[in-house]
Amino acid sequence: MYVQPVGLGCMGLSHASGTPTPKEEAVKILRAAYEMGYNFFDTAECYTGINPDGSVSYNEEIVGEAIKPFRDKVILCTKFGVTHQGDHLELDSSPEKIRQSLEGSLKKLQTDYIDIYYQHRIDPNVAPETVAQVMKEFIAEGKIRAWGISETTDEYLRRAHAICPVTVIENRYSMMARWHEPIFKTCEELGITYVAFSPMANGALTGAYQSKKDFGNGDQDFRPDMPQYSEEGMKKTNEIVTFLQSLATKHDATPAHISLAWMINKKDYIIPIPGSRKINRLQENFDAGKIILTKEEIQMIDEKLDSMTFMVFGGHSGK
């Protein structure tokens, strides 16, 4: 199946971006995205939020309901191995837990197979070979078609790949978060796709947020406390957004367009997965896949980024 240049990160509909979107509304948003052309949908077992009535909003249930009419026409991705426990992540990639997670995800997603099943984070207590062997069994059983690793290291990826070929990795990547670029060589060597999550630095590269006051989604929104939205962080963020605006004007585009087009044109195996609750923003993100940047423009952007430092969630530098 041909995958569009831009995929859809579904997390924000129910997790980390404020009070969850009502399920019926969220389903309509995802179906509208499909009509736009999106065919790569990314969710996870741990993407949950608390509804106003106190019930739990499961992102997988929303995605599963939304894609039912066109399940065989999209790539469905979900993840295992992480549970949110207050201010920290609980990691468990034991074979028993993975099998339990898979069955739960299949039920919530209302499907009998998952296209890409990711290990959400590396569990230091479980060897990559052990995880890969479980994935090999799932593929043989027809329950998953391929697997991937999120926030992987080069060593972990190679060890896992030797047991069961890894199709995709999903690591943080944006103009403000480039520390994973060394793994590009491994992706090229092994023929692995790089899915870039948070490709606009949790919205910072859109230029839409100028301070913490611009977030009004309640105490379930994690973004206001991210370093890129601190007073000092915003100064650094605004410098790159201003630079992007000059390029955007040339291409009759927006800073968001350019931030996505930069990575799409940089490497043909990179798929960014921005997300939004707004239909117009989803369309804007998708349209970034149509923008062509020259090698000279990409080099100019890279040189500019090399001269800058950023305060951003997950790290504190531009490279």
Catalytic residues: 47
Asked if residue 56 lies in contact with residue 48, where contact means CB atoms within 8 angstroms, the answer is yes
- Residue of 39, 13, 6, 45 lying closest to 196 (CA atoms): 6
Asked if residue 223 lies in contact with residue 18, where contact means CB atoms within 8 angstroms, the answer is no
Residue 22, classed as helix, strand or coil, is coil
DSSP 3-state percent helix, strand, coil across the chain (nearest 5): 45, 20, 35
Asked if residue 113 lies in contact with residue 143, where contact means CB atoms within 8 angstroms, the answer is yes
| Alpha helices by DSSP H, the chain | 23-36, 59-67, 95-109, 128-141, 154-163, 184-190, 231-250, 255-266, 279-287, 295-306
